[in-house]
Amino acid sequence: EILASCTSIVSVDQNGNVIHGRNLDYPFHPYLANLAVHYEFYRKGELLYEGDGSAAFLGIVTGMRPGAFGISINERSKGGALSTIYEIMLRRTFSVPFYIRRVLERAENFTAAVELLSSEEFAAPCYLTVSCVAKNEGVVITRDRRGVYNVSQIDFDSQDQWFLVQTNYDRDVPDPASD
């Protein structure tokens, strides 16, 4: 949330298969690569969900509940590091990567995941890409700290919306020329 760079994509192929991918394009990636961890969480011997993060950090930046949905987070630069720390420490709002773990644990399907990700107050604004196994179940939720700013929905039958790509910029404004 404080130092984030990434791109997420959700798309649908010609057979209706949903594809969810992402990259973490941090400038310090040579160091981060050595700390990358893939987590698997089990309940009663069954895989409940899995996700990726960094060693010594228990939040999830990319996760999947098998047969149900996947989530990835992108930074949304609105506010800054100090206000995020204030939100976590003093207001006790959720750190988004930790809340993603909660959603992966509690939501049993795409709709429930989208509802949970849309309803909680967060410590930082962000973009949440959520995918599912059904061809039109893919969204990008643009979040402010207190609620949803915008939701973009995938549409398999559309010429323009059969995929969604989310960088670190709002979808309704042009990307900066410097990027």
Is position 126 annotated as part of the catalytic site?
no
Pairing between strand 163-166 and 148-153?
unpaired
**The pTM of the whole model exceeds 0.85:** yes
pLDDT for residue 80: 62
What would the pLDDT profile of 55-89 be if each residue is shown by its tens digit? Answer: 877 789 899 999 999 999 988 876 666 565 655 65
pLDDT for residue 145: 77
Choose, from 2, 3, 5, 6, the residue flagged as catalytic.
Answer: 6
Ranges of residues in the chain whose predicted pLDDT is under 50: 1-2
Instruction: Report the alpha-carbon distance of residue 131 to residue 139 in Å, rounded.
Output: 7
Cβ atoms of 145 and 93 within 8 Å: the answer is yes
